[in-house]
């Protein structure tokens, strides 16, 4: 678990300090103490939510690390970890002073600290036996590979996490559906992702749902999604949901697992090597991870990153269930992504980079570690 925590810290630092174009000659604020202790910070709601969400994994995995290592005085260790997380967030803000592309705000460290506390609370909820006894048996869950996939699915589905429960928003969402174009690729992707959702949801809550309950959950999710800012509901997803429900309800477990694993692999190839136009001169390789996801439109890039993360996680998770080994599945997942990336060197219009390979490696590690601690 400590390794996962270190990976989280590395990703937070990477995302906060990208693109690393430091200008050390830049001056700090004239009154540094005033900046440091001024918490009257005004920000847009999406930035506030993002700052909180960024540090939830830090608090979550640090708490699990303390529990797994059975530290003496765990409460004291939690307090020290919280203080360390706050100082880490504050250090990132100070370093951002030297990044021309960043706006440093000391108040961001405070909102980051809220995320750490939420992470602590989630860790306590998922691992405390006292808390678990207060929860109905059907709603109890533990930290498992299925929970990781479900978390990625929710992050992808509800991004950018800004619900607007107003009649105008619902009207705009319905208008977007009416004006959207149907896409075969999106249709197949939505069928796959909804099947993933139904499967991992039942694994997380350890309960098999009837088709009626599945339909009710689906309608609820779609209504919430319709209320989200920049709702992306379209005909491709609306028409995919009924088929996903039928496939989940009527095909056998073994065939379903194999179907989703193969479907995720095919979709990843489709999105990364199609259209297939071979060339003899190799494309350049981008060594900087996530470079394509951290430039340009933040909303579009984060949405694409979440989608690709979910696609790779779906392939790795269902392959692990199919092969009954997350270790083997992680190896196959990583090798598969390396091969696809290698093909991009010789396909017109593709940009091979290290991002997908790193994501595959991280997911392989997460699946193995989570499977090891799962009950």
Q: Is the pLDDT of residue 278 over 70?
A: yes
Residue for token digits 């800004």? 162
Q: Is the pLDDT of residue 129 over 70?
A: no
User: What is the C-alpha to C-alpha distance for residues 241 and 340, in angstroms, rounded to an integer?
Assistant: 29
Instruction: Give the pLDDT confidence score for residue 196 in this predicted structure.
Output: 97
Mean pLDDT computed over 320-343: 95
- Among the residue ranges 159-163, 319-323, 341-345, 366-370, the one predicted with the least confidence is 159-163
pLDDT band for position 34 (cuts 50, 70, 90) = low
pLDDT tens digits for 133-152? 555 555 555 678 998 999 99
Residue for token digits 């984060």? 302
pLDDT tens digits for 279-306? 889 998 888 887 776 665 566 777 888 8
User: What is the C-alpha to C-alpha distance for residues 60 and 5, in angstroms, rounded to an integer?
Assistant: 9
The rounded mean pLDDT for the chain is: 84
Burial (Cβ within 10 Å: 0-12, 13-18, ≥19) of residue 283: middle
pLDDT band for position 6 (cuts 50, 70, 90) = confident
Q: Is the pLDDT of residue 12 over 80?
A: yes
Instruction: Give the pLDDT confidence score for residue 28 in this predicted structure.
Output: 66
Instruction: Give the pLDDT confidence score for residue 72 in this predicted structure.
Output: 79
Instruction: Give the pLDDT confidence score for residue 253 in this predicted structure.
Output: 93
**Residue 36, C-beta contacts closer than 8 angstroms, at least 6 positions apart:** 106
Higher-scoring residue by pLDDT: 55, 295: 55
Q: What percent of the chain has pLDDT over 90?
A: 40
- Assess contact for 311 and 264: CB atoms under 8 A: yes
Q: Is the pLDDT of residue 124 over 70?
A: yes
pLDDT band for position 98 (cuts 50, 70, 90) = confident
Higher-scoring residue by pLDDT: 191, 174: 191
Q: Is the pLDDT of residue 204 over 80?
A: yes
Q: Is the pLDDT of residue 360 over 90?
A: yes
What is the CA angle 76-82-86, rounded to 5? Answer: 145
Instruction: Give the pLDDT confidence score for residue 52 in this predicted structure.
Output: 86
């Amino acid at each position: 678990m400590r390794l996962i925590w270190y990976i989280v810290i590395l990703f937070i630092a990477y995302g906060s300090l990208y693109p690393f174009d430091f200008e050390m000659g830049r001056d700090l604020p004239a009154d540094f103490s005033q900046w440091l202790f001024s918490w009257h910070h005004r920000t847009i709601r999406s930035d506030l939510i993002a700052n909180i969400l960024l540090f939830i994994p830090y608090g979550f995995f640090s708490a699990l690390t303390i529990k797994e290592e059975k530290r003496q005085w765990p409460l004291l260790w939690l307090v020290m970890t919280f203080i360390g997380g706050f100082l880490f967030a504050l250090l990132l803000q100070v370093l951002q002073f030297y990044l021309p592309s960043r706006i440093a705000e000391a108040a961001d460290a405070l909102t980051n600290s809220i995320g750490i506390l939420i992470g602590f609370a989630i860790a306590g909820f998922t691992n405390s036996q006292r808390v678990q006894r207060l929860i109905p048996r059907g709603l109890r869950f533990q930290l498992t590979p299925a929970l990781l996939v479900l978390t990625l699915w929710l992050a992808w589905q509800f991004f950018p996490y800004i619900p607007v429960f107003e009649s105008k928003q619902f009207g705009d969402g319905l208008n977007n559906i009416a004006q959207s174009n149907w896409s075969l690729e999106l249709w197949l992707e939505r069928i796959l992702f909804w099947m993933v959702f139904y499967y991992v949801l039942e694994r997380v809550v350890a309960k098999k749902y009837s088709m009626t309950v599945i339909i009710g959950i689906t309608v609820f999710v779609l209504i919430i999604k319709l209320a989200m800012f920049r709702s992306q509901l379209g005909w491709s997803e609306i028409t995919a949901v009924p088929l996903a429900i039928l496939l989940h309800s009527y095909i056998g477990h073994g065939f379903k697992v194999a179907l989703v694993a193969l479907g995720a692999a095919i979709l990843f190839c489709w999105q990364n090597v199609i259209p297939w136009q071979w060339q003899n001169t190799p494309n350049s390789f981008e060594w900087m991870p996530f470079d394509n996801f951290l430039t340009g439109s933040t909303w579009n890039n984060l949405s694409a990153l979440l989608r690709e993360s979910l696609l790779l996680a779906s392939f790795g998770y269902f392959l692990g269930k199919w092969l009954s080994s997350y270790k083997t599945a992680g190896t196959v997942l990583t090798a598969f992504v390396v091969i696809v990336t290698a093909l991009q060197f010789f396909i017109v219009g593709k940009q091979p980079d290290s991002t997908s390979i790193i994501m595959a490696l991280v997911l392989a590690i997460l699946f193995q570690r989570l499977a090891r601690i799962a009950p």
